Structure 1
Amino acid sequence: MNALKLYGISDLRYEQAQPPVIEQADDVIIRVTVTGICGSDLSRYKKLGPYVEGMVWGHEFTGVVEAVGNAVTHVSPGDRVAACPTIACGTCNRCLSGVPSQCISLTVIGSKQPGCFAEFTKLPAANVLPLPEGIAEEAAALLEPAAVALHGFYLTNLQPGRSVAVLGCGNIGLLSIRWATLFGTKTVFAIDLDPQKLTLAEQMGANVTICPKQKTAYEQLMEYTDGEGVDLAVEAAGSPATSAQVLALPRKGGEVVYMGIPYGDVPIERFYFEKIVRNELTLYGSWNAVSAPFPGKEWTTALQMMSSGRLDVTSMITHRLPLSEGVQAFADILQQKEFFGKVLLYPK
């Protein structure tokens, strides 16, 4: 089968790979119809390289069941499915305590086992969710990042009528904006340096957009909120600078949830660090998108919201490309030859 394999930093190749086969009774082989490029894929491509050299890459996708093991009963060949790409051991103390997102051996397909930048991929039956009618395949390909953003919100105490600031309007940031509106938030502030991302943020439900080129996000937000700040600030940019700056955005007694991954040291100026203490902030780290019972309410909620039409992600999609153009797509995205939102790849 055709696949994208990551061999090293900036070394991605489109070549042949062995197709998956049924080995365990709970195996499900899925023919991939649509797969998405994640922001973490870009960081690994540019900065980190693969966990395993030459691994079939990718973890966001939807598809159709091709074959199942003899213990699988909830899906059959031909069924449209979504899939949670996260593999939790199910036996460590954290898994047994009902928090599989903290599993000591947590992994994701595409890292240490073959992923979905391919014609076929394989997952355990517990990771495979039947796709309700009414959800388009393109939308279902964004189910995993939607669940990632929702997982972060479930950690917080956000209530209807409150205010949220989202710092960074990439894919996770945009989905965070949409979830904030679905939580009944009164005002959602979207913060980014890119005006095109801010336009997408408005389409996803942001009430106020802030570009911090001329004046800091903190200064502008304080003007909008009469010096109060917001109830919840979401760090979704994943940069060292914004990882510190986000601490100045909540009100006294407010919350911060970190969804971005900075991939570098985070120097924090005294002004920002003191906000934690003086404003008595609550900080959350949000990792992955799973909870108990596995794969968790993040997935069932996202599926229901997509099925009802309330979680509309189509405005995020800017490029639809064949998988064979994936190598060039990664290079183009990082060279910023044009504006890229969500990029979808099609194996066939």
Structure 2
Amino acid sequence: MKALNLYGPRDLRYEETAKPVLEDSKEVIIKVKVVGICGSDIHRYAKLGPYIAGMTWGHEFSGEIVAVGSEVDSLRPGDRVTACPALYCGHCESCRKGEFARCEKLTVIGARHPGAFAEYVKVPAENCVKLPDSVPYDAASMIEPTSVAIHGLYKTGIEAGDDVAVIGCGTIGLLTIQWAKIFGARHVYALDIDDAKLELAKQLGADFGVNTKDIEPHEKIFEMTGNRGVDIAVESAGSTITSAQVFSLPRKGGKVVFMGIPYGDVMVKRFYFERIVRNELSVYGSWNAISAPFPGKEWQTTVHFLQEGKIKVEPMITHRLSLAEGPATFEKIINRQGNFGKVLFYPEK
């Protein structure tokens, strides 16, 4: 089969690769219909390189079951599915408590196990989530990032009537905005330095868009909230700058949740850090999209709201490409040669 394999930073190859084979009675093989680029893929391509040289990459996907292990009775060939890409050990203290996102050996396909930038991928059967016929493969390939967004908001205990600020209007930020409105947020403030992203954020439910280029975000947010601040501030940009600024946005007793991953040291100046202490903020880290019972309610909840049309992913998709275009596409993204939102690959194309 053909696959995208990562050998090093900026060394991604479209090449012939061994097709997965069932080796465990509880595994399934999926024919990949659609697979998307995650923001973390871009950083790994540009800077970090693979965990294992030559690894087949990718973890946001949907497809059709083509083979099942002998002990799998919940799935059959022909089933339409997406799959949670996370793999947990099942033995560490966190796993024994059902806290799978905190597993000591947590990994995802595409890291140390072959991923979904390929014609076929193998996963444990328990990772699969069946799709209703009304949810197309394109949308289903984005169930994983949508689950990541709701996983983070679950941690905050968001309530109807809360005011929410979301810094960073990439995929996770735009999905978080939609979830916040579904949860009943009174006002959602979208913050970014790109006006086009802010317009899309408003299209998808944000009440206000704030361009934070060359301003202190908290000054504008406090002006707009009557000097109160927001109940919940979400960092989804993964920027070293916004990862410090986010502490200045909540009200006294407010909450901050980190969904972005800054690939650099976060230097928090005194003013921002004092907001944590003086305002008695609650600060949450959010990792992955899994909970108990595995893979977690995040997944079925996402499927439901996609089916109901209350989570909208179509406006976020900017490119639909063949898998063979992968290496050139990643180069264009990191060199900013084009307007890239969500990029989807089609292995059959």
Could you say which residue in structure 2 is the equivalent of 1:181? 181
- String of CA shifts for 1:56-106, please: whole Å, max 9, x gaps: 000000000010101111111111111100001122110111110000010
Could you say which residue in structure 1 is the equivalent of 2:264? 264
User: What code does the residue aligned with 1:175 have?
Assistant: L
Counterpart contact for 1:133–1:307, Cα < 8 Å: no
Report deviation, 1:215.
2.6
Question: Percent of aligned pairs with the same residue?
Answer: 55
Could you say which residue in structure 2 is the equivalent of 1:88? 88
**Take 1:98 and 1:128, find their aligned partners in 2: how far apart are those partners?**
18
Q: Considering only aligned residues, what root-mean-square deviation do their CA atoms show, in Å?
A: 0.7
SS in 2 for 1:303: helix
User: What code does the residue aligned with 1:285 have?
Assistant: G
- Determine whether 1:6 maps to 2:6: yes
User: What code does the residue aligned with 1:298 have?
Assistant: E
- Determine whether 1:201 maps to 2:210: no
Report deviation, 1:213.
2.0
SS in 2 for 1:288: coil
Report deviation, 1:133.
2.1
Could you say which residue in structure 2 is the equivalent of 1:242? 242
**Take 2:298 and 2:157, find their aligned partners in 1: how far apart are those partners?**
16
Could you say which residue in structure 1 is the equivalent of 2:345? 345
Could you say which residue in structure 2 is the equivalent of 1:335? 335
Counterpart contact for 2:60–2:144, Cα < 8 Å: yes
**Take 2:132 and 2:40, find their aligned partners in 1: how far apart are those partners?**
28
- Determine whether 1:63 maps to 2:63: yes
SS in 1 for 2:253: strand
User: What code does the residue aligned with 1:109 have?
Assistant: I
**Take 2:67 and 2:312, find their aligned partners in 1: how far apart are those partners?**
30
Using the size of structure 1 for normalisation, the TM-score is 0.99
Q: Which runs of 5+ in 2 are unaligned?
A: none
**Take 2:115 and 2:292, find their aligned partners in 1: how far apart are those partners?**
23
Could you say which residue in structure 2 is the equivalent of 1:167? 167
Q: Show the 5 A alignment for 1:250-289.
A: 250-289=250-289
**Take 1:248 and 1:330, find their aligned partners in 2: how far apart are those partners?**
34
Could you say which residue in structure 2 is the equivalent of 1:148? 148
**Take 2:130 and 2:90, find their aligned partners in 1: how far apart are those partners?**
22
Report deviation, 1:214.
4.2
- String of CA shifts for 1:254-312, please: whole Å, max 9, x gaps: 00000000011110000000000000000000000000000001111101111111111
User: What code does the residue aligned with 1:247 have?
Assistant: F
SS in 2 for 1:145: helix
**Take 1:89 and 1:304, find their aligned partners in 2: how far apart are those partners?**
29
SS in 2 for 1:245: helix
SS in 1 for 2:53: coil
**Take 1:55 and 1:255, find their aligned partners in 2: how far apart are those partners?**
38
- String of CA shifts for 1:34-71, please: whole Å, max 9, x gaps: 00000000011111110000000000000000101011
Q: Show the 5 A alignment for 1:23-172.
A: 23-172=23-172
Using the size of structure 2 for normalisation, the TM-score is 0.99
SS in 2 for 1:324: helix
Report deviation, 1:146.
0.3
User: What code does the residue aligned with 1:33 have?
Assistant: K
Q: After the TM superposition, which of the residue ranges 93-102 and 212-221 deviates more from structure 2?
A: 212-221
SS in 1 for 2:241: helix
Q: Which runs of 5+ in 1 are unaligned?
A: none
Q: After the TM superposition, which of the residue ranges 72-81 and 119-128 deviates more from structure 2?
A: 72-81
